[in-house]
């Protein structure tokens, strides 16, 4: 396949929906000169409960579409898509593909003081064992406690960030990890950074929370530098936001994840 070798080409970013805007927010902060095309697969969200094969098929379709838009690299902002499809995309596409799992694992290993490392994510991410593998590749002796927290995604999408019901669910999911004395907790899902204050409260202030969005943006900068594809000069064209369904909802909820308002959302149907 043909690689875009133009440093001023955009970076493609995709997620199962709008949650990946937490990664875009960090990319915009750390790489302000880079133009972004974001694809949110709002027609087929959530990916968390879907089979690895299905998620791989979706990821391949989106990466192909982004390739046709002339991107120079792709950031897989979705933890579930990274867990199931990163290897496939790396094999099939010739430009750099950056996932969220490895940067998060690296940050967790760096932050941990040798206590168990906790990982939370969707059922798909946790079931894949991707974070365990990534952490063990860096720290073979690491003790890991992983837990799927599937109800967090709909709660965040409802904006229930500090409701009593959310607190009860967070206690249910997280108290067992606290009892295992994890010293670091990886927020292995696009939506969880929005629950950071609540999760911090349940886990206690000694537990370090790892937000993979921040680490992924830093990794993207490193990868682009390594291959000489960092944008030259400042941003001239606007970012593009694309959804596979319900663009009005994307516009309405996007600000919660991105931190700033989105002016326009295009609709593209895949599959």
Residues at the interface with ligand DGL (CB under 6 A): 15-17, 19, 45-48, 78-80, 121-122, 125, 153, 189-191
Closest separation in Å from C-beta 109 to ligand DGL: 20
Read off the tokens for 190.
Answer: 């696009």
Question: Residue with CB nearest ligand DGL?
Answer: 48
Residue tagged active-site, from 4, 98, 182, 189: 189
Q: How far is the CB of 163 from ligand DGL (least distance, A)?
A: 19
Active site residue 189: yes
Cα–Cα distance for residue pair 48/148, rounded to 1 Å: 10
CA 225 – CA 5 distance, rounded (Å)? 13
Smallest separation, CB 14 to ligand DGL (Å): 10
**3 state DSSP class of 146:** strand
Tokens 């720290």 — which residue?
A: 139
> What b/e string do you get for 218-246 counting C-beta neighbours within 10 Å, with b at 16 or more?
bbbbebbeeeebbbeeeeeeebbbbbbbb
To ligand DGL, the closest distance from the beta carbon of 17 in angstroms equals 6
Find the catalytic residue in 23, 78, 199, 224.
78
Cβ closest to ligand DGL, residue 9 vs residue 85: 85
**Would you say 19 or 103 has its CB closer to ligand DGL?**
19
Choose between 16 and 112: whose C-beta lies nearer to ligand DGL.
16
**Cβ within 8 Å of residue 204, ≥6 positions away:** 178
Q: Which residues are catalytic?
A: 78, 189
């Amino acid at each position: 396949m043909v690689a875009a070798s133009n440093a001023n080409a955009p970076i493609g970013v995709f997620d199962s929906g709008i949650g990946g805007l937490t990664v875009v927010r960090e990319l915009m902060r750390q790489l302000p000169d880079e133009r972004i095309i974001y694809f949110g697969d709002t027609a087929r969200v959530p990916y968390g409960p879907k089979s690895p094969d299905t998620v791989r098929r979706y990821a391949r379709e989106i990466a192909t579409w982004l390739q046709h838009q002339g991107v120079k690299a792709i950031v897989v902002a979705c933890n579930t898509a990274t867990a199931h499809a990163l290897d496939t995309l790396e094999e099939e596409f010739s430009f750099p593909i950056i996932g969220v799992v490895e940067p998060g694992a690296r940050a967790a290993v760096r932050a941990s003081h040798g206590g168990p490392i906790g990982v939370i994510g969707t059922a798909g991410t946790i079931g894949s064992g991707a974070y365990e593998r990534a952490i063990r590749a860096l720290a073979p002796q690491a003790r890991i406690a992983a837990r799927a927290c599937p109800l967090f995604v709909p709660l965040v999408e409802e904006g229930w960030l500090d409701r009593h019901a959310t607190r009860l669910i967070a206690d249910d999911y997280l108290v067992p990890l606290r009892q295992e004395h994890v010293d670091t907790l990886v927020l292995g899902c696009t939506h969880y950074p929005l629950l950071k204050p609540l999760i911090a409260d349940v886990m206690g202030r000694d537990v370090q929370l790892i937000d993979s969005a921040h680490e992924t943006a830093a990794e993207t900068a490193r990868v682009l530098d390594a291959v000489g594809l960092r944008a030259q000069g400042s941003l001239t064209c606007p970012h593009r936001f694309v959804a596979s369904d319900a663009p009005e909802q994307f516009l309405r909820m996007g600000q919660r994840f991105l931190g700033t308002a989105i002016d326009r959302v295009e609709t593209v149907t895949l599959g």
